[in-house]
Amino acid sequence: MFKHILLATDGSSSAEHAAQKALQLARIHGGQVTAAFVVDPYPYVGLGSLNPIGLEAYRAAAHEAAGKAFSHLNELAQAAGIRLEARLVEESHVVQGILAAAEDVSADLIVVGSHGRSGLKRLLAGSVATQVAGLSSRPVLVVR
């Protein structure tokens, strides 16, 4: 049923919990998992002149964070016997990056973690999981 699962990750504990569910589903269905880590290409352009040193430092930090997340996910996937592909997606809007990655790999399912915020915190912080679920034409599993 789910032959190709897109896992949205940011390296957080909720993303790790979602990863465990995605790998479990992939094992059950004999599928594979693509992990997508979305990074804003450079969120500080509007704050002043483009600083090449700042841009490189930002990119290095973003790649390092993604690398750590992918390394950990790769260990989990190997232990589960699941094939994992890692994708670093550069997109200023995380939700659009996740949806584009799902389209690119023809995912049968998108798995995304939720921090479980509610009330005012959710209103102020927004919810990537809620937006992905609301905008996706593909099935979405939100893991809390």
The predicted pLDDT at position 125 comes to 45
Reported confidence tier of residue 20, pLDDT bands at 50, 70, 90? very high
Q: Give buried/exposed letters for 53-67 (b at 16+ CB in 10 A, else e).
A: eeeeebeeebeeebe
Reported confidence tier of residue 127, pLDDT bands at 50, 70, 90? confident
Q: Identify the domain containing residue 97 by its residue range.
A: 4-143
Q: pLDDT tens digits, residue range 91-120?
A: 999 999 999 999 999 999 999 998 765 555
Q: Is the pLDDT of residue 48 over 70?
A: no
Task: Give me the mean pLDDT over the 68-91 stretch.
Answer: 96
Task: Give me the mean pLDDT over the 35-43 stretch.
Answer: 88
- Distance between CA atoms of residues 127 and 2, nearest Å: 25
Question: Percentage of residues in the chain with pLDDT exceeding 70?
Answer: 86
Average pLDDT, the chain: 89
- Distance between CA atoms of residues 143 and 45, nearest Å: 33
Give Cα separations from 105 to 17, 21, 33, 60, 109 (angstroms): 22, 19, 10, 26, 11
The predicted pLDDT at position 101 comes to 98
Q: How many domains does the chain have?
A: 1
CATH code at position 46: 3.40.50.620
pTM to 2 decimal places: 0.89
Q: pLDDT tens digits, residue range 49-74?
A: 567 777 788 889 999 999 999 999 99
How crowded is residue 40: how many other Cβ atoms within 10 Å of its Cβ?
15
